[in-house]
Amino acid sequence: MKRALVLAVLVAAAATAGAQTDPTWRQPFEPLRIVGNIYFVGTRGLSSFLIVTPAGGIVIDSGEAETVPFIRANVEKLGFRMADVAILLTGHAHFDHVGGHADIKRMTGAKVMVMDADREALQSGVDRSALGGPGWKGVAVDRVLKDGDTVTLGGTTLTARLTPGHTQGCTTWTTSAVQEGRTYQVAFVCSVTINEGVHLTRNTRVPSIAQHYAQSFRVLRALSPDVFVAQHPDVFNLEAKSAASLASSGAAANPFVDPDGYKRLVDRSEQTYLKQLDQEQKR
């Protein structure tokens, strides 16, 4: 019995250690303003966002536990204080997006808020999605959200929109930001990819996963953001847009204003989903 327990611990540790396969997840990336009071403070491969308000900061996504020093350095490089972070949110409960939550909460005292369907996973540190991936350090949740709830701080309001599939509580956050006198609608899009090995039919972990994704695409198609970002930088072409931003000036030239890019993302993701669903249903 003791030997079996030791073996199980070693297997779990090995899985966690081997889960980080993309070296860009732990590569630094210069922080920058996306639009208005919204800043990118993540790494080259993992997105984290800082929303600055007069009452403190809001951070969306903490990355892995190893990401936290990068986030802190980027927040300070922008001239803000990590200690001023008052609210900590996430798109979904996977280790590469909430792995640093416990450390940031301990560091700042920020209130952790999460969609109800991801609450148990976030608190326990156990991935309860269809992926069943590595875990993370659990963190106490201060506020449980439901679809349509709002989070407000210092004049900025974000709306939590349930877009399940990638996890049961996958949350797309929407807000508005003002730059140079113009108001932009912004969407922090939760992942709509289907992890490798995850099935849309006969899925014993999440039997309704196909319907969850269908729901998400209906919600995403009803949105019309001027600016969209995502939980992995390559999804919204961060590097190219960052380079273009440095070379441009003025709000009208902001390369992150990309409504057509948002529509292409939703179209492409839904087509991938429908193709896999069709293939599985024919088996």
The half-sphere exposure of 149 on its side-chain side, counting CA atoms within 13 A, is 13
At residue 257 the predicted structure's pLDDT band, cuts being 50, 70 and 90, is very high
Burial state string for 27-66 with b = 16 or more CB within 10 A and e = fewer than 16 = eebebbbbbbbbbbbbbbbbbbbbbbbeebbbbbbbbbbb
Ramachandran bin of 32, using left for φ above 0, alpha for ψ from -120 to 50, beta for the remaining angles: beta
User: Is the pLDDT score of 260 beyond 80?
Assistant: yes
Q: Is residue 158 part of a domain?
A: yes
At residue 91 the predicted structure's pLDDT band, cuts being 50, 70 and 90, is very high
**For residue 56, what are the contacts with CB-CB under 8 A and spacing of at least 6?**
84, 85, 86, 87, 153, 154
The half-sphere exposure of 224 on its side-chain side, counting CA atoms within 13 A, is 0
pLDDT of residue 245: 84
**Residue 205: CATH number of its domain:** 3.60.15.10
User: What tokens appear for 135 in the block?
Assistant: 């875990």
Q: Is residue 13 part of a domain?
A: no
Chain centroid to Cα 92, Å, comes to: 6
User: What tokens appear for 14 in the block?
Assistant: 């090995």
Q: Is residue 16 part of a domain?
A: no
pLDDT of residue 252: 57
Q: Is residue 130 part of a domain?
A: yes
Query: pLDDT per residue over 207-253, tens digit each?
Result: 999 999 999 999 999 999 999 999 999 999 999 999 998 877 554 58
**For residue 134, what are the contacts with CB-CB under 8 A and spacing of at least 6?**
15, 16, 19, 95, 127
Could you tell me where the DSSP H helices lie in 79-183? 95-98, 101-108, 116-124
Rounded-to-integer distance, Cα 34 and Cα 257, Å: 9
Rounded-to-integer distance, Cα 94 and Cα 126, Å: 9
Number of domains in the chain: 1
Q: Is residue 87 part of a domain?
A: yes
What residue type is assigned to position 255 of the chain?
A: P
**pLDDT > 70: percent of the chain:** 91
Q: Is residue 109 part of a domain?
A: yes
pLDDT of residue 142: 98
Query: pLDDT per residue over 94-148, tens digit each?
Result: 999 999 999 999 999 999 999 999 999 999 999 999 999 999 999 999 999 999 9
Query: pLDDT per residue over 5-24, tens digit each?
Result: 333 333 333 333 345 469 99
Rounded-to-integer distance, Cα 143 and Cα 119, Å: 9
Query: CA-CA-CA-CA torsion for 242, 246, 250, 254, nearest 10 degrees?
Result: -10
Q: Is residue 4 part of a domain?
A: no
User: Is the pLDDT score of 170 beyond 80?
Assistant: yes
Average pLDDT, the chain: 92
State the residue range of the domain holding 98. 24-281
Q: Is residue 67 part of a domain?
A: yes
Burial state string for 156-184 with b = 16 or more CB within 10 A and e = fewer than 16 = bebbbbbbbbbbbbbbbbbbbbebeeeeb
Please, what is the angle between helix 68-77 and helix 101-108, to 10°? 50
What residue type is assigned to position 37 of the chain?
A: N
User: What tokens appear for 134 in the block?
Assistant: 């590595």
User: What tokens appear for 130 in the block?
Assistant: 């269809």
Query: pLDDT per residue over 22-47, tens digit each?
Result: 999 999 999 999 999 999 999 999 99
